[in-house]
Amino acid sequence: MRHRTIVAIASILFATSAVKAQTYPVTQGKTYKFEKVAEGVYYASGGFGSNNVVIVNEQDVLLVDDGTTPAAARAFLADIKAITNKPVRTVVNTHFHYDHTDGNSVFGPEVQIVAHEYVRNAIATFDVLNREPFITSQKTAVPARIDALTKQIAAERDPQKKAAFQKDLAAAQTTLNQLKEIKPTPPNVTYSSKMVLHKGSREIQLLFLGRGHTGGDTVVFLPRERIVCTGDLMESRLAYMGDAFFDEWVTTLGALKNLDFGLVLPGHGVPFSDKGLITAFQSYLSDITTKIAGLRAQGMTADQAASRVDLTSYAKDFPQITGPGADPRGVRRIYAWMDERGKK
């Protein structure tokens, strides 16, 4: 009995400490920072677009996501050489969004780009460079920034400030040129519910747990290492909601929680261990849909509802919430999704 009590206390202590931010051994590349979270498993951040995962196997390397541009993917590949000389043979796209897939075009035919079948269809047919989230996040944002900086430079009298603006302008122009190089490239291997890769002694599961952040999100699960790579299905911060299926997302996150993992490597943010953050995000999703439905019933447009909706009670889990309001692209999607459901 006494022994059991001690075990119970130990597990409470462990559960508490697991929530804290962990520190891992770091290899700093020119662009990307690699955190070694397990033997051969690295969390890569600091690039342009998604945070990626590098899984070094006995013979070869598998990547989870590849950033916003061919330039980002090339920088990623160059930096990977600091951790391994093995060749990249597999790239998993967690979902179709530009910031996870627009590095795809740099890979040769020897590399299998694997994703859920929805991703192939989306990249092939959605005209992804002329729709959200690419339009407001990149296509119009970068030229607008160049415009604003050009005006600031013209108006600035202080030579030091002027030089700083000029540096920012050069960086924005580089980004614009890099965006022009994008050729949306669909995955060349697809699956529909589950795919298991055996790479030497490592087992890598690609799982479609249901619709959520998009219609085809993959989680990459390493059962032995108890690590799950979640893309934007579950970030450590609030995810973009413009292509979401809201009630299904909540259910899919429930399926995610049923996996036996001790560490989440998200598509944006930081690695985390606390399943409570997933529960908090489920509540956020349920709450925002209920609240938006209420504002819509009062006759508000989606954009009015987006500026009004109050989710500040979630700020302790998602500190990016600093006041009332939500991303209008997500709220417009809630309206469209409610219409789709109404027709069924």
Per-position x/- string for 93-122, each x denoting binding to Zn ion as judged by CB under 5 A, each - no binding: ----x-------------------------
Per-position x/- string for 69-98, each x denoting binding to Zn ion as judged by CB under 5 A, each - no binding: ----------------------------x-
Choose one: 16-24, 194-202, 230-238, 307-315; the region binding Zn ion (CB under 5 A): 230-238
Residues 234-273 that bind Zn ion (CB under 5 A): none
Please, which residue, 29 or 215, has the CB nearer to Zn ion?
215
Please, which residue, 97 or 329, has the CB nearer to Zn ion?
97
Please, which residue, 199 or 329, has the CB nearer to Zn ion?
329
Choose one: 9-17, 24-32, 184-192, 227-235; the region binding Zn ion (CB under 5 A): 227-235
What the block records as the tokens of 69 is: 């541009």
65 binds Zn ion (CB under 5 A): no
Q: Which of 108, 67, 116, 61 is nearest to 84 (CA)?
A: 61
Q: Which of 253, 249, 185 is nearest to 215 (CA)?
A: 249
Counting DSSP H helices and E strands in the chain, the numbers are 11, 13
Assess contact for 240 and 231: CB atoms under 8 A.
no
Assess contact for 29 and 79: CB atoms under 8 A.
yes
Please, which residue, 42 or 134, has the CB nearer to Zn ion?
134
Binding residues for Zn ion, rule CB under 5 A, total 2
Question: What minimum distance in Å lies between the beta carbon of 240 and Zn ion?
Answer: 5
Question: What minimum distance in Å lies between the beta carbon of 101 and Zn ion?
Answer: 10
Please, which residue, 240 or 272, has the CB nearer to Zn ion?
240
Question: What minimum distance in Å lies between the beta carbon of 73 and Zn ion?
Answer: 17
What the block records as the tokens of 152 is: 């600031």
Question: What minimum distance in Å lies between the beta carbon of 25 and Zn ion?
Answer: 28
Please, which residue, 51 or 289, has the CB nearer to Zn ion?
51
**Is the four-CA dihedral 277, 338, 323, 235 of positive or negative sign?**
positive
Helices (H), 181-274: 246-257
Question: What minimum distance in Å lies between the beta carbon of 97 and Zn ion?
Answer: 4
Q: Which of 104, 100, 98 is nearest to 141 (CA)?
A: 98
**Is the four-CA dihedral 132, 138, 140, 141 of positive or negative sign?**
positive
Assess contact for 71 and 178: CB atoms under 8 A.
yes
Question: What minimum distance in Å lies between the beta carbon of 43 and Zn ion?
Answer: 17
Q: Kindly state the DSSP code that residue 202 receives in the 8-state scheme.
A: E
Q: Kindly state the DSSP code that residue 268 receives in the 8-state scheme.
A: S
232 binds Zn ion (CB under 5 A): yes
Q: Which of 255, 254, 243 is nearest to 194 (CA)?
A: 255
Please, which residue, 29 or 231, has the CB nearer to Zn ion?
231
Please, which residue, 165 or 245, has the CB nearer to Zn ion?
245
What the block records as the tokens of 224 is: 């032995």
Which residues contact Zn ion by CB under 5 A?
Answer: 97, 232
